[in-house]
Every structure is written in C-alpha cells, then in structure tokens.
Amino acid sequence: MKVLDCRLLTGASRSSEYPRGGLPEVVFLGRSNVGKSSLINRLLGRSLARTSRTPGRTQQAHFYSVNDAVLFVDLPGYGYARVPAKVKAELAGIIETYLTARRPLAVAVLIVDARHEPSDLDLEMSRWLGGEGLPFQIVSTKMDKLSNNQRHASLSRTRRLSGREDIIPFSSQTGEGKRELWQAIDNRIASLRTTGTAGTPDTASRIPASHPEESPK
C-alpha cells in the first residue's frame, strides 16, 4: 500500500473509546521498548507515533488511519521488568482490552528484538494468537545492530523457537524489511476483505500480556 494520507484518530484506554467504522486493523504487539512505534513510523514514512528510549512510552491504544482504508493500532508494550508493577498492570490491561474487543483484525504484527532470544512472553503471545486463530506475522527488528553472522544466528533462533518460518528481518533505522512487511500486511487485508475471516477473537482465554508473574493485576 502506498501511504498517501495518515493521521492519529484517537488514543484509547477503554474499548468504548475505540473508533467506529469497521475498517480492517493491523495491530502492533511486542515487549516494551522493542521498537513498535518506530516500526509504525517507518512503515508510514513519517514520525506520527511517539517513540522513546524509556520503556513504557506508549500508554494507550493509539489508532492511526491510513488512507482512510485501514487502521494501524499502536499498543503499549508488555513485560518490561523495569516498569513499575502498577504501570505494567495498566498497560497489560490495555493490551488485553484490545485483543478481546473483537475488532476486524487483518493481522497482528508481533515484534521481537533481533538481539535477544524471544522472551517467554513473546512465545506465549505467539501461541495465544495462534490458538485464537488470529493471523499474525513475526517481525525481528533492530537488525541494524547485528553483524552478518549474528543476523543468521538470530533469525534461525527465532524461527526455531517460534516454529514459524516466515520471520521478517526489519530495521526502523535502515528501512530493511519495509517492503516485505507491507506485502504481508496488504495480503492479509486483501484476504480479510475477500473472506471476511482473517480472524476476530471470540473467546477470552488468558492473554499472555496479563500473565500474573510478569504483569500483576
């Protein structure tokens, strides 16, 4: 998709504050500070989403309208140890609220840090999305920080641990992976439009982001 126009519609903590209209949505999930907002900015080609070196920057579900055709949803991150427990619980609640709100989800983009092994929460999130029948794409970001050898090791580790072959290597700094990720998103939007079944959750099983040990309620 060529981005002609995009803008922030709203930041929401409760589902009653979510935009109406039923456009397909692409949600960006991942550990706090992994680079979700930076990745969104790179995909959109402008700095709309606020980014920060400090974890816990994004504290609501931010809905961005793209070409009035699709909504990008920037969520808070999960599971960062140095975020105070109370904040962590609030952020987990915002993620859980979104994931159980039965939105017309085209695809969830699950972002992991190429420098580290996917965390238990990343793997749990991936299993949960799969179990709910939700379409998701794993993206390994911050690739610019790795040498060639490290890249290969990192990608095969993420493939092995996630059980998914189609990991997209990405860098918000260099733009690596932007074309491939757009392709994956466009395909999912097209399949949601034609079949209407790209997936919406209809059960409320426990969401990994609200794992009691990582994010106490």
Contacts with Mg ion, residue ranges (CB under 5 A): 36-37, 57-58
Candidates 187, 203, 28; CA nearest to 101 is 203
Please report, as residue ranges, which positions from 122 to 151 form the binding site for ligand GTP (by CB under 6 A).
141-142, 144-145
Cα distances (Å, whole numbers) of residue 71 to 18, 28, 47: 11, 11, 16
Q: Residue 62 interacts with ligand GTP (CB under 6 A)? A: no
Residue choice 18, 27, 58, 109 for contact with ligand GTP (CB under 6 A)? 58
Q: Residue 119 interacts with ligand GTP (CB under 6 A)? A: no
Residues in contact with 53: Cβ distance below 8 Å, sequence separation at least 6, in sequence order: 33
User: Which residues pair with residue 137 across a beta bridge?
Assistant: 109
Encoded amino acid at 103, one letter = R
Q: Are 85 and 28 in contact (CB under 8 A)?
A: no
Please report, as residue ranges, which positions from 168 to 207 form the binding site for ligand GTP (by CB under 6 A).
171-173
Candidates 43, 52, 97; CA nearest to 72 is 43
Candidates 202, 198, 15, 8; CA nearest to 107 is 198
Nearer to ligand GTP, 77 or 135 (CB): 77
Nearer to Mg ion, 58 or 192 (CB): 58
Nearer to Mg ion, 37 or 141 (CB): 37
Total residues at the site for ligand GTP (CB under 6 A)? 24
Nearer to ligand GTP, 77 or 118 (CB): 77
Nearer to ligand GTP, 88 or 188 (CB): 88
Q: Which residues bind to ligand GTP, rule: CB under 6 A?
A: 30, 32-38, 51-53, 55-58, 76-77, 141-142, 144-145, 171-173
